[in-house]
Structure 1
Amino acid sequence: MAVAFVLLGRDAGAQGQDLGHRLPGGVGLDAGSQNEQGLYAGTRFAWFSSDRVHDRNGDTVPIEQLDIDAYAAIFGITGSLKVDAFYLSAAVAVPAAKRSINSERPDVSVDRLGLGDIYVEPLKLGLRSSRADAVASYSFYAPTSQGASSMIGRPQWSHQVSAGGTVFLDDQRGWRITILASYLHNLQKQGIAITRGDTVQLQGGAGGRFFGLIDLGVVGYALWQVTDDTGADLPAQLRGARERAFGLGPELDVAIRPLRSRLFARFEWDLDGTSRPVGSILVLGLSVIAWE
């Protein structure tokens, strides 16, 4: 099971950062946008909550009094440099995470705390204009030894390629429609003969700016597992089961001009899902311009 973890103009404070978008809800109104040149520091707090798990047919698995909570505090930096007409960007982020699963079945109840997978984006290529942005990137997720031992991080390497864009409906780059498509390829888990299947994901949304400081919109995600989980150690009941998820919710962003920063809040509900917990995710974040 996978448990989840507005473009503001420079005159309105720090722009959005991508500190990892492997899991649904990772990005929203800035999904396919390109930052201006500069160095950005940021933090995220994510909380995923669920009280049910859906099987491969979308039916609820009968587990009494199930309560799943996953928390993550993510710290990262993003840098962007303009070279001729293009923007070259890179990012790194480290999450500290806690996972809690409680039910009447002790065999599925856990409570773990530790470091999650490190997110590294060595290259992002972008184009930026007054009415449209386009981006493409490569990133990877590196497991930590602590994450593997504490059952927080996935004990596997994952590689991700992404591409997307944003269309702005006004010259102030306030009203917009944005989307980011990603393909995630997982390598075999360390210490066990299981390889998670690859996934395709769409994230994005539509929204606008009010009073020059507040961005408000609707965001969503769609995820499909496109290859089966494999490996000699994969339980028989999980063979052929593919993960799928669809979610929707609001996002609110507020610029803090004196601090050259931005606060945002994003809350999304799973509308449907298979072979995974079904619930909701809350993401709170702060981005600051460290250098420009």
Structure 2
Amino acid sequence: TTSSRRPSPASLPSLSGGQRASGGRVRFESRLLLGLLTAATAFAPTAAGAQGQDLGHKTLGTIGLLAGAQPQPGVYASTRLVYYAANELVDRDGRSLPVGLDIDSWADAIGLGATFAVKPLAATWSVSLGIPLLYSRFSTEQPQASLDRFGIADLYLTPAFLGWRLPHVDLVTGYALYAPTGRFEPGGSENVGRGHWTHQFSLGGTAYFDRARAWHLSALGSYDLNLRKRGVDITRGDTVQVQGGLGGRLGGIVTLGLVGYGLWQVSDDSGTDLPPVLLGARDRAFGLGAEVSVLIPPIRSQVTLRYTHDLSVRSRPLGQLFFAGLSFAAWRPKPAAPP
């Protein structure tokens, strides 16, 4: 990957938390029910005279503690504010490129989700929807490459996310998709969408270290299958990403811990419109951070704060992410009466 001519931040979908009853009080799990927030930024080589084609790079760090846990039955609403910043572009060999990169992206994602019991499967089933509003500013040392973009980005829909709860382990699996509803025109300067469908398949779990399920290690792995972009012969390579964390609950209200992520692009970008200099360049990223969440029982809500930073990347920007979210349990079923 090289310097940028037509950068394109896009699709920032996502999120919601779950809840469980414990000791007569409700606590929210920090599983982000409405999915992975994505910020897409395209890079194409001006030095080679190629046109930018809005490839898109997945932003990580939007799932943390209890990523592989399933919320209890109920209806949830959330709002998520995310700030992503990067000022370094790294090529496929790990070299920092002197292009004067400066990216500042803000997203506010509104999420709705529901979880219900499926007795024949002895599981819970979640569905969710995320609608993101994005503002992004991109600049380099070349003034003509500086852009401001604002709009509703790509829709994120989870029609099926299933979970099984065992005494010391939670298991989850699901399917979600990114729909190209955000504004996109090949080579356009006002794009806020990625211009293609993405099918996402996930599998994960959480291990609990005590009977109270207060301390836990959790991870969620996902495979993103990208389809051809609209109006241009480019197909983004598929990616595998793992996100999660290690943490615990203190005093029944505060949960804190360390979070981390990894991403590997497992197939090449392809298509006749792909700039030749980008052939064979595959994304890779690893990062760490911290998370704290606070339960607010009187209003059945939870506030979550998270910070993550890339430690190592290839063929993408080196960035950091700040996350602030509010989850609310709009409804939950009454506990069954004891026999």
Query: Is this a same-fold pair by TM over 0.5?
Result: yes
C-alpha contact (below 8 Å) 1:15/1:287 kept by paired residues = no
Q: Which has the higher contact order (CA 8 A, sep 6+)?
A: 1
RMSD: 1.8
In the alignment, structure 1 residue 54 sits paired with structure 2 residue 90: yes
Would the alpha carbon gap of residues 289 and 8 (structure 1) be closer, same or farther in structure 2, given more than 3 Å must change?
A: closer
State the 1:169 CA deviation.
1.0
Out of 12, 15, 36, the position equivalent to 2:72 is: 36
Shift of 1:109: 1.5
CA positional deviation for 1:103: 2.2
Q: Is the 8 A contact 2:8 2:192 kept in 1?
A: no
Maintained 8 Å contact 2:154/2:182: no
Which residue does 2:105 correspond to in 1? 70
Larger radius of gyration: 2
Unaligned runs of 5+ in 2: 1-6, 39-58, 333-339
Deviates more, 1:30-39 or 1:12-21: 12-21
Write the distance in 2 (CA, Å) between the matches of 1:275 and 1:123: 32
Give structure 1 stretches of 5+ with no counterpart.
Answer: none
Residue pair 1:97, 1:113 contacting (<8 A) in 2 also: yes
Question: Partner amino acid for 1:54?
Answer: V
Matched, 1:126 2:163: yes
> What is the CA–CA distance in structure 2 between the aligned matches of 1:113 and 1:3, rounded to whole Å?
10
CA contact (8 A) 1:119 1:140 kept: yes
Q: 1:20 aligns with which of 35, 54, 71?
A: 35
What SS does the aligned partner of 1:237 have? helix
1:13 partner amino acid: R
Q: Secondary structure at the match of 2:298?
A: helix
User: Over residues 157-189 of structure 1, what are the superposed CA-to-partner deviations in whole Å (9 max), with x where a residue is unaligned?
Assistant: 100000000011122221000010100010011
Residue 201 of structure 1 corresponds to 241
Aligned pair count reads 291
**2:18/2:76 contact within 8 Å kept:** no
After TM superposition, the structure 1 = structure 2 runs for residues 21-170 of structure 1, keeping only pairs within 5 Å, are 21=36, 23-64=59-100, 66-84=101-119, 85-146=122-183, 150-170=190-210
Distance 1:3 1:32, change over 3 A: farther
- The alpha-carbon deviation at position 266 of structure 1 amounts to 0.8
CA distance in 2, matches of 1:3, 1:245: 18
Identity %: 43
Contact 1:114–1:147 at 8 Å: present in 2 too? no
Measured after TM superposition, the shift of residue 30 of structure 1 is: 2.1
Equivalent position to 1:237, from 269, 274, 277: 277
Shift of 1:136: 0.2
Distance 1:46 1:112 in 2: 16
> Which protein has the bigger strand share?
1
TM-score (norm 1): 0.95
Asked if structure 2 preserves the Cα contact closer than 8 Å seen for 1:269 and 1:279, the reply is yes
